[in-house]
Structure 1
Amino acid sequence: MSTTVSILGCGWLGTALGKSLLRKGWNVKGSTSSTKSCNDLEMTGISTFYVKVKPKGVEVDYNSFFSTDVLIVSIPPTRTDCVEESYPQKVNQIAQKAEEIGISKVLFISSSSVYESQNKEVREGDEGSPEKQSGRALIKAEKVLTHNPKFKTTVIRFGGLIGYDRNPVKFLIYKSEVAGETPVNLIHRDDCVGIITQIIEKDIWGETFNASSPEHPVKREFYSKAAKISELPAPVFSNTKENYKIVNSDKLINALDYKFKYQSPMDYLKEVEEWAYRI
């Protein structure tokens, strides 16, 4: 019997994940909260549902979306003034829905933004008090799910997502005074999909994992090369010191026996450069 997976939030990562799982023969349900996105998602072959999560409830066209072996929650915090309160409330609504339907396994997509930048390597358990509201909101949301005894939750804290049409240099284009010696914490979408798939296949629940490429080049090296390949202006780098963190993914690597396709974000840039050269 094939596995049924429901992906709550089929955006840039969720849609790619759903398509990959379909190719493996799994039953895949995906959700979106806009009519246009519904039409686009249906074209992929993913069973498409309208689901909108609010702080006080969940709007869903068919409850069968939640009839699943695994619920993947892939809805990041939005940029609002009260995200630290509203986002955990939304995730609590999802938890209540999971309880109501009887879902036993939940996979929550979180972020390495839950860690403070304290100029050191960070591992699971080093959360502290993040600088951004979104990071603090994610910590609260994680606890809503992991503290619920009605189902088992595994949390994945991804670094910054790169790959395909997501050109990393566009985040810093035309910026000046970028601290060039700050290490980056990035992960390619292919590795995100591979990690999520292996967690489900190996039935690893009740865990929290960091997921970032094991190597961490500095911004000056990475973004200068990204700009050159893309023929875009490079950021203006400075020798200014800024607080940083280096996200350690050893726990994930050991638990899954996982080998990153992109050990370093620089590997992705080499691939892009080779592709551009062949054209």
Structure 2
Amino acid sequence: MKNKQISILGCGWLGLPLAKDFIAQKYTVKGSTTSPEKESVLQEASIQPYVFTLGTTTNNELYTDFLANSDVIVINFPPRRIPNIISIYQEQITAILPFINDTQKVIFVSSTSVYQNTNDWVTETLDCQPEKESGKAVVAVENLLKTHLKDRLTILRFAGLFGYDRVPGRFLAKKKQLPNGKAPVNMIHQDDCIELINAIIEKDIWGEIINGCSDKHPLREEFYTLAAKKIGLAPPEFVASKTISFKIISNTKSKELLQYSYKHPDLMVFVI
């Protein structure tokens, strides 16, 4: 798909650089933000800006215009960590669904938080039983979108996001009594997030669920200790334990189905 139009619902840490990447490829891009002060930022990047908050905006014409004539819609905002997160996140997505027409394709930027800890490798075929409310909210929205969109939807489940201003060394620095020091880390760089979304669109891959995660999975204690030291912060302290709880996210499907090679396969290069 070249020189067509894309709507990005949520131009934040990932959505804004994604939109700029599409602009560089000569796509027309419409982008939404909940912050009026960010409207000028989108305009300066040649993104057509729309300011609204799903679930509170009642201006149907705004939704209609935001989605009109777009070939692909990228739904890219996480659930807020608030009470009733599961129902509120579904209500937000439900608000936009009537305005997606029968020909438009949708990428839902999901999360590997939908997976429970299995102490083993995790693939897209696992029956998800998320352990946190945020994960439960994301699964609920995945199911809502699958029911409504069927084979016009691809779900992209990203591991922990990092890159550029989101530096791993700050994530756990100075914290104490942390568990699971010997558990593997699952993360993905912003560059790979953007390239995976591009690959789905370019290869016209729909009706799929795909994990996005770096190849390597260093141990949590080693990785975050080195990451904190690299930027001059006090490293986290982990408690020794005979048992750990973890999952290892498999990215095999993303590499095989999308014929994708990760730009940042080894997390350790960012901390040593």
TM-score under structure 1 length normalisation: 0.90
Matches within 5 A, 1:250-269: 250-269=252-271
> How far is the alpha carbon of 1:216 from its aligned partner?
0.5
How far apart are the structure 2 equivalents of 1:56 and 1:46?
A: 21
1:185 is aligned to: 186
**Could you tell me which residue of structure 2 aligns to residue 275 of structure 1?**
none
For structure 1, the residue ranges without an aligned partner over 5 or more in a row are 271-279
Corresponding residue SS for 1:137: helix
Q: Deviations over 1:192-245 (max 9, x none)?
A: 000001110111011000111121101112111111210111001222233111
Instruction: Report the 3-state secondary structure (helix = DSSP H, G, I; strand = E; otherwise coil) of the residue aligned with 1:53.
Output: coil
CA contact (8 A) 1:55 1:87 kept: no
Q: Which moved more, 1:52-61 or 1:114-123?
A: 52-61
Q: Distance in 2 between matches of 1:251 and 1:193?
A: 17
1:124 partner letter: E
> Which one has the bigger strand percentage?
1
CA contact under 8 A between 1:69 and 1:104: conserved in structure 2? yes
Equivalent residue runs for 1:16-165 within 5 Å: 16-54=17-55, 61=62, 63-67=64-68, 68-99=70-101, 102-149=102-149, 152-165=152-165
Gaps of 5+ in 2: none
Separation in structure 2 between the aligned mates of residue 118 and residue 33 of structure 1, nearest angstrom? 36
Q: TM-score, normalised by structure 2?
A: 0.93
Q: Distance in 2 between matches of 1:60 and 1:230?
A: 47
When residues 63 and 172 of structure 1 are mapped into structure 2, their CA distance, relative to the original with a 3 A threshold, is same
Return closer, same or farther for 1:190/1:121 CA change in 2, 3 Å cut-off.
Answer: same
Distance 1:150 1:63 in 2: 21
String of CA shifts for 1:75-110, please: whole Å, max 9, x gaps.
Answer: 1000111011111121122222214xx452000000
SS of the residue 2:79 aligns to: coil
Could you tell me how far apart the structure 1 residues matched to 2:95 and 2:27 are? 26
* 181-190 or 117-126, larger mean C-alpha shift: 117-126
Partner of 1:273: none
CA displacement, residues 144-190 of structure 1 (integer Å, 9 cap, x when unaligned): 11122477100000001010010112221221122321111100000
Contact 1:52-1:58 at 8 Å conserved across structures: no
In 2, Cα distance between equivalents of 1:144 and 1:55? 19
Cα offset for 1:268? 3.1
Match of 1:148, SS? helix
Residue 47 (structure 1) shift: 1.4
The code of the aligned residue for 1:96 comes to P
Runs (4+) of structure 1 exceeding 4 A deviation are 55-60
Q: Percent same amino acid at aligned positions?
A: 37
Q: How far did 1:265 drift?
A: 1.4
